[in-house]
C-alpha cells in the first residue's frame, strides 16, 4: 500500500500566465466566452469542450459530473444525455444548473449558470445521427443510465447483440429516452489565476435584460 499524503498544505502553484481587466473584456459574456474558448482550442488543450455540470434534485442534493459541450450560441450551451439519467431526473425536478470549464494550462476557468430546457426533438435527432455508429448503439443499450448492471461482460453482450441486430441498417432510430438540453445563461464568472492568490474574477449578471459587469474579491 502506498503512503498516504497527510499534509497537502505545501502543495501549491503560482499563477502568472495572464490578467483580466474590465476594459479588455467583451460587453457580452457569450462573446467573451467564445474568445477564451477559441484560445483554448488554438492551444490544443485536451478536450477544452469538457465541462463539469452541476445539478440538484428537489431536495437540494447536488450531483456533478463531466459532460461535453456540443453547442454554444447566444441561445445557450448544449449537451446530450439519457433523459432518465441522474442529470435528467434532477433537471425534471429543478431546472437550474451550472457549468464549469477549467483550463489549467491557461490558468483560467469559466462558470455559466442558468435555467435548462430540452432542445427540440429534431435538433436531438440531427445530432444523434452525427455521432459515431458505436456511440449511437451505446445510447440504446445504456439504459437506464446509471442503473446497476451485474458486470462488464453483460454490458458488452448487450452492445454486441444490438450491433449484430442493426448491422444491415443504414441508420438507427434515435432512442426516445435520449436527447439534448440547453442551459440558458443568466450569470457568468470569468476567473484568471494571478500571483499571491489575488485572482481576477469578473462576473456578468443579467439584470432586467441587460448584462451587468462586476469584479469580485478573490
- CATH number at 98 reads 2.30.110.10
Tell me which residue range forms the domain holding 17: 13-123+177-213
Total count of domains within the chain: 1
- Grid coordinates representing 66 are 463531466
Q: Which residues make Cβ contacts (< 8 Å) with residue 41, sequence separation at least 6?
A: 48
| Residue 87 assigned as binding residue | yes
Tell me if 145 is assigned to some domain: no
pLDDT greater than 60 at residue 1: no
How many Å apart are CA 136 and CA 24, to the nearest integer?
43
- Grid coordinates representing 82 are 439519457
Tell me if 160 is assigned to some domain: no
How many Å apart are CA 147 and CA 126, to the nearest integer?
27
pLDDT tens across 66-99, in order? 999 999 999 999 999 999 999 999 999 999 999 9
| Residue 15 assigned as binding residue | yes
Tell me if 94 is assigned to some domain: yes
How many Å apart are CA 108 and CA 90, to the nearest integer?
28
Tell me if 112 is assigned to some domain: yes
| Residue 28 assigned as binding residue | no
How many Å apart are CA 79 and CA 182, to the nearest integer?
7
Tell me if 192 is assigned to some domain: yes
Please measure the distance between the N-terminal and C-terminal CA atoms of the chain and give it in whole angstroms.
Answer: 39
Tell me if 149 is assigned to some domain: no
| Residue 199 assigned as binding residue | yes
How many Å apart are CA 79 and CA 180, to the nearest integer?
6
- The proportion of the chain whose per-residue pLDDT surpasses 70, expressed as a percent, equals 98
pLDDT tens across 28-77, in order? 999 999 999 999 999 999 999 999 999 999 999 999 999 999 999 999 99
Tell me if 156 is assigned to some domain: no
Tell me if 2 is assigned to some domain: no
| Residue 127 assigned as binding residue | yes
Amino acid at each position: 500500500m502506498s503512503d498516504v499524503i497527510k499534509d497537502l498544505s505545501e502543495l501549491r502553484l503560482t499563477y502568472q500566465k495572464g490578467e483580466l481587466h474590465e476594459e479588455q473584456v467583451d460587453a457580452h459574456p457569450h462573446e467573451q466566452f467564445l474568445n477564451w474558448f477559441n484560445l483554448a482550442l488554438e492551444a490544443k488543450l485536451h478536450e477544452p469542450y469538457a465541462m463539469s455540470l452541476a445539478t440538484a434534485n428537489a431536495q437540494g442534493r447536488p450531483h456533478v459530473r463531466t459532460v461535453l459541450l456540443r453547442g454554444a450560441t447566444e441561445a445557450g450551451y448544449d449537451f446530450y444525455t439519457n433523459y432518465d439519467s441522474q442529470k435528467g431526473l434532477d433537471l425534471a425536478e429543478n431546472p437550474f444548473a451550472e457549468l464549469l470549464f477549467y483550463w489549467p494550462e491557461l490558468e483560467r476557468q469559466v462558470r455559466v449558470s442558468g435555467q435548462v430546457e430540452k432542445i427540440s426533438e429534431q435538433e436531438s435527432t440531427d445530432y444523434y445521427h452525427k455521432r459515431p455508429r458505436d456511440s449511437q448503439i451505446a445510447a440504446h443499450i445504456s439504459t437506464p443510465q446509471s442503473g446497476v448492471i451485474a458486470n462488464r461482460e453483460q454490458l458488452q453482450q448487450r452492445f454486441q447483440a444490438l450491433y449484430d441486430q442493426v448491422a444491415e441498417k443504414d441508420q438507427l432510430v434515435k432512442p426516445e429516452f435520449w436527447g439534448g438540453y440547453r442551459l440558458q445563461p443568466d450569470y457568468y464568472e470569468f476567473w484568471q489565476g494571478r500571483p499571491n492568490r489575488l485572482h481576477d474574477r469578473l462576473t456578468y449578471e443579467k439584470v432586467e435584460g441587460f448584462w451587468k459587469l462586476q469584479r469580485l474579491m478573490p
